Amino acid sequence: MGSLLNYVIRRALFAIPVFLAVSILTFLITNAAGDPVNIVRLGIRSITAAQLEQLRLFFHTNEPVYIRYFYWLSDFLRGNLGQSLYTGSVASRIIPWIGTTLELQIPALLLALGIGIPIGVYSAKHQYSKGDYTITTAAIFGISMPTFWIGIMLIIVFSYYLPWLPAYGAYSAYPPYWWGSPFLDAIAHLILPLSVLTLVSVATITRLTRVNMLEVLRQDYILAGRASGLSEWKVTYKHALKNAITPVLTIVGLSFGTLLAGAPALETTFSWPGLGFAFVRAASTLDLPTVQAIIMIITLMVLAANILTDLAYAFLDPRVRIT
């Protein structure tokens, strides 16, 4: 396993330039977006010259931008994600945001895999049947409909006309709780956004699985498996699916990093207090330290997900060697 550790270290070293490039871009763009001193100043009725000078010292705006970048980067690397312009430490708030996003994204991903893969297999096994046409058409619908549109439609139907489910938020801040208890209340809040997210991911995973299955089912080893008397079930699930699933899992793995970013449009539609919603709010209120911190956290997650995906690939496919 020495080579494995070696590999991870090497990949991590490759990730460093990417991380630095993203950090430079992020810092420059957010700085171009506005001067934090001026933004904070708007909230103070009257400000003395001395107070203004203090703010400048705090945000280092009296120094050139590349010096400020190094202050910011060294803070970030030591775990200090900065101060929000409005609500204090970013680090203490970003963890709950990530948690809330994952509460939505992980069940959606698991459901999408559990539903999308069997549907994709069915579709490939019955290529050009009515079922296959129905599935592929529905998948195109699921992929092309914007999540916020589906979300709004579901809210209109299931929260407005039929008052069955809550329209926004991840939980009720005050009683009465939906369905009687705080736990069931959280579940009730989860259902609509989870459905939208699952629908979209199912569409993607179904299509990917179908295409890969069709490709694999044409392979000689499938024919040879059938010819040697294996049951259709074994041919399909033990041989074809395992071969077809590797690329699907790769794409899922690569998207896992962006998945942590949450779905800004969807979280905003449902006022879901996750990272995506937080990002949209921070950007629209020019809360620059929060925007910077969120982008950098997402960057780290994406880089980590890439490395993990490569490892998973090597684990699934013996032809891929880690050296």
Partner 1 sequence: MGELLRVENLRTYFFTEAGVVKAVDDVSFVVNEGEPLGLVGESGSGKTVTVLSAMGIVTKPGRIVSGKIFFRGQELDHASENEMRKIRGKKIGYVSQDPNSSLDPLYTIGNQLQEVIRTHFEVSKDEGWDRGIKLLKLVGIPEAETRMKSFPHELSGGMRQRVAIARALAGEPELLVADEPTTNLDVTIQAQVLELLKTLEKDLQMSLILITHDMGLIAEMTDRVVVLYAGKVAEEASTHELFQTPRHPYSAALLNSVPRLDRKAALVPIGGGIPNLITPPNGCRFHPRCAFTKQVCMDQIPPLEDIGGRRAVSCHRWKEIELRRNV
Which positions touch partner 1 (CB under 8 A)? 127-128, 217, 219-221, 223-232, 234, 238-239, 242-243, 246, 316-319
What does the radius of gyration of the chain's CA atoms come to, in whole angstroms? 24
Using an 8 Å Cβ cutoff, are 291 and 72 in contact?
no
Query: Cβ of residue 3: shortest distance to partner 1, in angstroms?
Result: 17
Nearest approach, Cβ of residue 229 and partner 1 (Å):
3
Among 173, 176, 171, 164, which residue's Cα sits nearest to residue 186? 171
Shortest reach from residue 249's CB to partner 1, in Å: 13
Minimum gap (Å) between residue 243 Cβ and partner 1: 6
41 or 242, CB closer to partner 1?
A: 242
User: String of b and e for 106-138 (b: at least 16 CB within 10 Å)?
Assistant: eebbebbbebbbebbbbbbbeeeeeebeebbee
Rounded to a whole number of angstroms, the minimum distance from the CB of residue 317 to partner 1 is 6
Rounded distance between C-alpha atoms, residue 195 and residue 151, angstroms? 9
Q: Say what angle helices 90-125 and 130-144 make with each other, to 10 degrees.
A: 160
Q: Which is nearer to partner 1, 158 or 313 (CB)?
A: 313
Contact 183, 145 (CB under 8 A): no
Question: Residue ranges of the alpha helices (H) in 34-89?
Answer: 36-42, 49-59, 65-77
Structure tokens at 226: 């059938």
For partner 1, the closer CB: 219 or 285:
219
Between residues 66 and 315, which has the closer beta carbon with respect to partner 1? 315
Question: C-beta of 127: minimal distance to partner 1 in Å?
Answer: 7
Nearer to partner 1, 98 or 124 (CB): 124
Q: Residue 2 Cβ, how far from partner 1 at the closest point, in Å? A: 21
**Eight-class DSSP state of 119:** H
Closer residue to partner 1 in complex, CB, 41/238: 238
Residue 318's Cβ-count burial label (10 Å; 0-12, 13-18, 19+) is exposed
Bridge partners of 84? 88
Between residues 127 and 285, which has the closer beta carbon with respect to partner 1?
127
Tell me the closest approach of the beta carbon of residue 196 to partner 1, in angstroms. Answer: 35
Q: Which is nearer to partner 1, 153 or 223 (CB)?
A: 223
96 and 171 Cβ atoms separated by less than 8 Å: no
